[in-house]
Amino acid sequence: MTLGLVVIFLVSGTNGQPGSIALGCLLILIGAFVDSIDGRLARYLNSTTDLGKQLDSFSDLITFGLAPISIIWQLGLLSQSVVAFLALGLFPLAGAFRLARHNIGEYEDYFEGLPITAAGSILSLYVLGYRYFFNGVQDSLPVVVTLGLVVILAGLMVGKFKVRRIGLQNIQRAHYLTVESNGQTEGYKL
């Protein structure tokens, strides 16, 4: 959560300066790395709680929902129009919905919809790519691509499809075949 807040404060007073935008994107990507470790560490230490689950979701919403949108807003790529405001507002709202759905569901081996961590990281990588490769483009293409990407990612977050959870447990399970016959379950190493 701290990384997300730092990004928001960092870019809010800089008027889209390249160094602060790049640093903000980097902090979001570092946040994704930290987010991948914190749950595993809590499970390893046997210290998972419902409070921790909720705090993790609030952290994800700030770091991967609000911070990337604040970067895009400060980038100055989009005119400050009602359409841009609504499209950019849709992203954290979809992320909040996805996080709430995840918190009340029982998901062990998969996520339902694109995780907000992935969506926020994709936006950060897009901004970095835009800043370094397409900054001189002056037509409306970057605006359309940016708004399209934001709306598509928002839709993917609220989607009902399954995304397999990547982790050591799933890698280990992929090497075993479980067969159930006559009420008995047997595992075979592949």
More confident residue, 138 or 129: 129
Question: Is 111:102 a contact under the CB 8 Å cutoff?
Answer: yes
Specify the higher pLDDT residue, 63 or 187.
63
Tabulate helix, strand, coil % of the chain (nearest 5): 70, 10, 25
Pick the CATH number of 2-189 from 2.30.29, 2.40.128, 1.10.3470, 1.20.120: 1.20.120
Split at pLDDT 50, 70, 90, the class of 54 is confident
Q: What pTM did the predictor assign?
A: 0.78
CA–CA distance from 79 to each of 5, 69, 137, 146 (Å)? 24, 14, 15, 12
Q: What ranges in 13-115 are assigned the alpha helix state H?
A: 18-44, 50-60, 67-75, 82-104
Structural domain spans, the chain: 2-189
What SS3 state is found at 45? coil
pLDDT given at position 107:
65
Name the more confident of 155 and 145.
155
**Which pLDDT score is estimated for 172?**
42
pLDDT per residue over 77-128, tens digit each?
Answer: 666 678 888 889 999 999 999 998 888 877 667 678 899 999 999 999 998 8
Produce one character per residue of 68-86: b if its CB has 16 or more CB atoms within 10 Å, e if not.
Answer: bbbbbbbbebbeeeeebee
Highest mean pLDDT among 13-27, 66-80, 134-148, 151-165 belongs to: 151-165
Q: What is the pLDDT of residue 146?
A: 86
pLDDT (tens digit per residue) in 156-173: 999 988 877 775 444 344
pLDDT value at position 121?
A: 96
Does pLDDT of 189 surpass 60?
no
Q: Considering all CA atoms of the chain, what is the largest pairwise distance in Å, rounded to the nearest integer?
A: 68
Contact 89, 147 (CB under 8 A): no
Q: In this predicted structure, which of 5-14, 41-50, 61-70, 173-182 has the lowest mean pLDDT?
A: 173-182
Torsions phi, psi of 16, nearest 5? Answer: 75, 25
Tell whether the model's pLDDT for residue 51 goes beyond 60. Answer: yes
Smallest CA-to-CA distance from 81 within 136, 121, 140 is with: 140
Question: What is the structure's pLDDT at 137?
Answer: 57
According to DSSP, the residues that pair with 185 across neighbouring strands are: 180
- 168 HSE (CA, 13 A, CB side): 7
Give the mean model confidence (pLDDT) for residues 48-76.
Answer: 88
- 74 or 93, higher pLDDT: 93
